[in-house]
Structure 1
Amino acid sequence: MTTIGTYSPGLQVEGLESPNVKSPKKAALASWIGSAVEYYDFFIYGTSAALIFPKIFFSAANPQVAAVASFATFGVAYIARPVGAVALGHIGDKFGRKKVLTFTLLLMGFSTFIIGCLPTFDQVGILAPILLVIARLLQGISAAGEQAGANSMTLEHAPPNRRAFFTSFTLSGTQAGLILATLVFIPLTELPEADLLSWAWRIPFFLSLVVVVVGFWVRRSLPETPAFLDESKSHETAKVPFLALVQDYRADVARVIFAALISVVSTIFTVFTLSYAVNTMHIDRTMMLTVLVLANLVALGAIPAWALLADRIGRKPVFLFGAVGCAILIWPYMWAISQGNLTLIFVLGILLSGVVYSACNGVWPALYGEMFDTRVRLSGMAIGTQIGFALGGFAPTISAALLGDGPNGWVPVAAFTVMTTIVAAVSVATARENYRTPMHELGKK
C-alpha cells in the first residue's frame, strides 16, 4: 500500500493510509462464514421452537400454551443479548475484534450441541425446559457479539467507497445460515412424526460441531483491523468503552435500538408465520420450509445488490425503502397464509423476505457502524442492536398472544409488525448520512 506524507499512529486522512494492511476480501469471507455458522445454530433453534419443542419440552395438556412457552424460550436468548453486548463490546473495543469473534463462535457451537443432548419433558419433567432455557441463554450471549464484531471487523477493513458492500457479507452469511438450517430440517420433516420427535430432531444440533470447526479454521488467520491497531498503538482505546458510549453517543445508541426493531419482520416471517401456517392453517410444513429456503436464496443476491446501491446513493434511502415495503407486504403475505393460497405464499414470501427486507439487511451493518468511532464501535453496535433485537426475539411470543380466532385472526399480528417498521423508519430518518465520511471522521462530534 502506498503511503504519502508522514504517518502518525491513529491518524488516517485522504491520501494517507495506515501502514497496517487491510484485508477486505478476507474479512468479508471470514464474516460470511462465521455468521453462517453462528446463525445456522441460531435458526435451527427457531425452526425447532416452531415445529418440535412445544411437543417434547412442554406438557401436551394445552398445545396453545405449549406453543407460547416454546416461543418464549426462543425469545429468552434476547434477554441475555444486552448483557452479552456490554461484556463482549468491552472486550472487542479494548482488546480487539478478533478475540470476540473467536469466543462467540466457540460458545455458540458448545451451547447448540448441548441442546441436542437434552432430555425431554416426558423424561425429566420441568427440568427439561429449564435446561433448554439455560442453553438458549448461552446462545444469546454468543449472538450478542457475533454480528457487531463481524460488522466492525469488515467495516474497518473495507475500502472507503465500498463499506456497505463488504459489511453486507455478514448479513449474507446470516441468510446462508438460515438456508443451511432449513435444508437440514426438510428431509427430517419427511420422517414419521414419532421418529422426528424421538431422535431425528437432535441431528441438526449435533451437526453444529462440524460447522463450528469450519468457521474457526477460517477466522483463525484473519488479521486485526488497521483502525483498531492504530488506536491501540496511539493508546486511544477507551478504558471503559461502555462509559464512553454513554457519555458521547446516547442519541446514536437510541437510534440503533429503534432501527433494530426492523428485525421483528425477520422473526415473524421465519418463526411465527411458519408455526401459524403449519399448526393453525395446516399447510404442509415441508412446503413452508421450502418458502424459507427460496426467500433466503434470493436474499443472498439481493443483500449485496442493495449494499452496492447504498454505496452510491446512501444508506438511508435504501433502508427506508425496505422498512416501508415490509410494512406493506406483511398484509398480503399473512392473508395468503390464512387462505391457504400456495402460489401467493411463495411469491409474496420471496418478495417480502428475499427482496424487500434484504434492503434493510444490506445496509444496516454500515449504517449503524458509521455512527460510532473506532473506540466504541463494537460496543455501540452490539448494545444498540441487541436491545432492539430483544423485541424481535419476543415478536413470535407476542404474536402468538395477539393471534385471534377465525380467518382474520392474523390482522393484529400484521398491525404489530407495521408498528415496529414505522418506528425503525423514523429512527433511521433522523440519523446522519455517513456514506461519504472518511473512516477517521466517523462518529466525531
Structure 2
Amino acid sequence: MSTLTAPDTAEAPPAPSGVQKRRIIFASLVGTSIEFYDFYVYATAAISVFPLLFFPASDAGGALLASLATFGVAFVARPVGSIIFGHFGDRLGRKATLLGSLLTMGIATVIIGMLPTYAQIGLWAPVMLAIMRFCQGLGLGGEWSGAALLATETAEKGKRARAAMWPQLGAPIGFLFANGFFLLLTIWMGHDSTDPAHDGTFLTWGWRIPFLASAVIVALGVYVRVKLEETPVFARAVARGEKVKTPLKAVLQTSWRQLIQGTFIMLATYTLFYLFTTWILSYAIGATENGMLGIGYQDFLVLQLIAILFFAAMTPVSGALADRFGRKPFLIVVTAAILVFGFFFDSFLAPEVMGTGADANMGLMLVFLIIGMTLMGLTFGVQSAILPELFPTNVRYTGSAIAYNFSSILGAAVAPFIAAWLVQNHGVAWVGVYLASMALLTLLSLFSTKETKDLDLDTLTAKDAEPAVA
C-alpha cells in the first residue's frame, strides 16, 4: 500500500512558533497538574475522610473498603471519557476537547466539596459522592491523552519523549499540591488521624476546602488553554482529508493490536503508582489491631511529599533516556526493576520489620517510598510518548486515551482494593507479589511492541486509513 499524500490544494500550516511552543508546554503542564490535583484530593479524602463521614460501617476495615470502592468508580468512567473526548478530539481537534475535559473534572470536584454527609441525608450521601467521582473519571479520561498530543505533535525531531514528559510532570505536581494542602489543614486544625474527632473543625468543614479551591485553579487552566492553537500534525491530517467519521470504529478496525499493547504497557505503571499513593497511605496510618502500622497521618504524609520529589525529578530523566536509547529497551529495564522490587515488600513493610505506631522505623519507610517513586518517575515519564506513537494521527486521541484508561481499570482502579484485601487476609508480602505479576504482563507487552522512537507522527499509510476516512 502506498502512503497517503496531501491533496495539491492542501497547504500544511506553519509549525508552532517559539512562543506558542512555550504556551503549549505551560498549558499541558498546568492542565494535567489541575486534573491530577482534583484526582488526588479525592484519593486522600477516600482514606482519611470519607470512611468516617460517608460510609458508616460496623468496623473500620469495612468502611475503608467501601470508600476505596468509590475511589475505583472513576476508573470505570475513564474509558467512557476516553471514548467521548477521544471522538471529539479526533473530529474537532485537541484544543476544544481539552477545555471540555478540564471543566468536567473541575466542576465535579467543586460539587464534592459541597456534598452533605451520611449523617445529614443518609444513603444519598455515598450515592451522590459516587456520581461525582464518576464525573471526575470522565474528565480525566479525556484530559491526559489530549495534553500528551499537544506535547508530542509539536515536538522537535528526536526530542519527542523530552517534550512529552511535560504533561507527565502534572502527576507529581498535582500530588504535592493536593496532599500538601491536606497536610497544612490537618496541622492548622489539629486533626489526628489516629484518633479523629468527628466534631472537630477538620471533619466538620475543613476537608471541603481543597475541593472548593479547585474552582480557582480550573479557571486558570481554562484561561491558559483558550489561547492555544491546534497542533500542526492534526491540522495537516485534516488538510489531507484524513479526518474520520467515527474514531472509535476506526481505531478498532485499524489499531486493535496497538490498543492491547498500550493497555498492558501502562499496567505496571498504574499499579505501582496507586500502591504508593493510595494503598500505602491506608496501610501506614491503619490501626495496628487490623495488621497495619498505626503511623500518624501527618508524619507519613511528610514522607510521601519528600518521596514524590524523586518522582518529579526522574520524569525528565525518563524522557531524555527514552530519546537516547529508545522507548522499548528503556522501559524493559525499568519494568524489570519494578518486578524485582515487588519481591522485597515484606523486607520493608512487615510490621515486625518496620515497627508500628511511635516505634515505626520512619527512615526505612522513607527509603521504601523513594525507591518506589524513583521507579515511578522513570516508567511514567515516557508513557506520554510511547502510547501516542502507537496510533496514526486520525485516531491517535481515541486510541491513546482508550489504552491509557482501560489500563487504569486493570492497574489502578482495583489496586488499592486488592492490596488492602491481601494485607487483611495474607500479609503485606503478597502486595509485592501482586505488583511483580503486573510488571510481568507489562514486560510481555513490551517485547511484542516495535520501537517507535524514530516514527514520523505525520506518517499514515493507506492500509491504516482506508477503512476509516470519512
Quickly name the TM-score band, shorter chain normalised. Answer: over 0.9
Q: Residue 441 of structure 1 aligns to a residue in which SS?
A: coil
Report what 1:72 is aligned to: 69
- How far apart are the structure 2 equivalents of 1:334 and 1:145? 37
CA-CA distance at 1:439 after TM superposition: 2.2
- How far apart are the structure 2 equivalents of 1:183 and 1:360? 24
Corresponding letter in the other structure for 1:374: T
| Kept in 2: contact 1:370–1:434 (CA 8 A) | yes
Q: Residue 186 of structure 1 aligns to a residue in which SS?
A: helix
CA-CA distance at 1:8 after TM superposition: 5.3
- How far apart are the structure 1 equivalents of 2:330 and 2:370? 18
| Kept in 2: contact 1:34–1:105 (CA 8 A) | yes
Structural mapping, 1:292-307, within 5 Å: 292-307=304-319
Q: Runs of at least 4 residues of structure 1 off by over 4 A?
A: 6-11, 442-445
1:116 to 2:113 alignment = yes
| Kept in 1: contact 2:334–2:378 (CA 8 A) | yes
- How far apart are the structure 2 equivalents of 1:304 and 1:334? 31
Report what 1:206 is aligned to: 212
Structural mapping, 1:144-159, within 5 Å: 144-159=141-156
Report what 2:468 is aligned to: none
Structural mapping, 1:13-52, within 5 Å: 18-21=13-16, 23-52=20-49
Q: Residue 131 of structure 2 aligns to a residue in which SS?
A: helix
Report what 1:256 is aligned to: 262
Report what 2:391 is aligned to: 372
Q: Residue 117 of structure 1 aligns to a residue in which SS?
A: coil
- How far apart are the structure 1 equivalents of 2:238 and 2:147? 19
1:426 to 2:444 alignment = yes
Corresponding letter in the other structure for 1:35: T
How many residue pairs get matched? 432
1:388 to 2:388 alignment = no
**Alignment partner for residue 320 of structure 2, among 308, 321, 329?**
308
Structural mapping, 1:18-417, within 5 Å: 18-21=13-16, 23-190=20-187, 191-192=190-191, 193=196, 194-262=200-268, 263-279=270-286, 280-333=292-345, 335-338=347-350, 339=354, 340-353=360-373, 355-391=374-410, 392-404=412-424, 409-417=427-435
What is the TM-score normalised by the length of structure 2?
Answer: 0.88
- How far apart are the structure 2 equivalents of 1:288 and 1:224? 43
Task: Provide the alpha-carbon RMSD of the alignment.
Answer: 1.9
- How far apart are the structure 1 equivalents of 2:441 and 2:112? 35
Corresponding letter in the other structure for 2:379: C
Alignment deviations for residues 44-71 of structure 1 (CA, whole Å, 9 cap, x no partner): 1001111111111011422111111100
Structure 2 residues not aligned, in runs of 5+: 1-5, 287-291, 355-359, 465-470
- How far apart are the structure 2 equivalents of 1:195 and 1:9? 66
Select between 200-209 and 389-398 the one with higher mean Cα deviation.
389-398
Q: Residue 153 of structure 2 aligns to a residue in which SS?
A: helix
Structure 1 residues not aligned, in runs of 5+: 1-5, 12-16
CA-CA distance at 1:94 after TM superposition: 0.6
CA-CA distance at 1:9 after TM superposition: 7.0
| Kept in 2: contact 1:319–1:360 (CA 8 A) | yes
Identity %: 33
- How far apart are the structure 1 equivalents of 2:240 and 2:9? 6
- Gap change, CA 1:148 and 1:67, over 3 Å in 2: same
| Kept in 1: contact 2:310–2:377 (CA 8 A) | no
Q: Residue 58 of structure 2 aligns to a residue in which SS?
A: coil
- Gap change, CA 1:335 and 1:125, over 3 Å in 2: farther
